[in-house]
Structure 1
Amino acid sequence: MAHEEIPGIDPAARPSGDGCAECLAGDGPGWWFHLRRCAACGHIGCCDSSPSQHGTKHAQAAEHPFLTSFEPGESWFWNIETDEYYDGPALPPPASHPTSQPTPGPQGKVPADWQLQLH
């Protein structure tokens, strides 16, 4: 089923990597709970439950209103400006981080008390 064009979603935007760009670069504690993909540019950031919340921070700073899940089996879009879910177009693969990557991740960086550090 074809989706109508939604301003703020670029159906050609490829993911920036397999994990949160900022966490992997050393910004914050370096681990995430779940990953989010910017639907405008493909930036991969961590979710709002993660300690650093890089996904929403990127979306706000870049004025890119739509995030989508970067988790296996999830295909929703979220508009950070309206707090609403949307159906959107298929984005270029991959649609999620590798299934071999643990959640939370990345492997070897998640503290034993990670559940106490969620937002």
Structure 2
Amino acid sequence: MANCAHLDTSGADPAPSAEGCEDCLRAGGTWVHLRLCLECGHVGCCDSSPARHATGHFHAAGHPVVRSFEPGETWRWCYADEVGARA
């Protein structure tokens, strides 16, 4: 696996912006799985979802690391380096 300095940062998760994908909730859309931005707390939908809001948030805000926002899942993903890690 490639090295990624973004995934090496630790700390408490930010407060989530919503209980579901905030952009889908606003637009009346649906999602498959959720991702939490570890920089600002934006909750977005995964790339299997129709709107791919978590990836869109990375491109718009430049925040590289998300973690799964699904119950029981703790993995993280860095969009900038395209690598993941188990927490």
- Same fold, judged at TM 0.5 (above): yes
2:26 corresponds to which letter in structure 1? A
Aligned runs of 1:1-119 on 2, under 5 Å? Answer: 6=9, 11-26=12-27, 30-88=29-87
Contact between 1:10 and 1:41, CA under 8 Å: does it hold in 2? no
Which structure has the greater CA radius of gyration?
Answer: 1
The residue identity in structure 2 corresponding to 1:20 is C
Distance 1:12 1:34 in 2: 18
Aligned AA (1:73): G
**Normalising by structure 2, what TM-score?**
0.83
Contact 2:13 2:38 (8 Å CA) reproduced: no
Q: Which whole-Å CA distance do the structure 1 matches of 2:74 and 2:60 have between them?
A: 24
Structure 1: unaligned runs, 5 residues or longer: 89-119
The number of aligned residues is: 80
TM-score, with structure 1 as normaliser: 0.62
Instruction: Report the Cα distance in structure 2 between the residues aligned to 1:65 and 1:43, rounded to whole angstroms.
Output: 12
What is the percentage of aligned positions where both structures have the same residue? 46
Runs of at least 5 residues in structure 2 that lack an aligned partner in the other structure: 1-7
Structure 1 CA distance for aligned equivalents of residues 29 and 46 of structure 2: 13
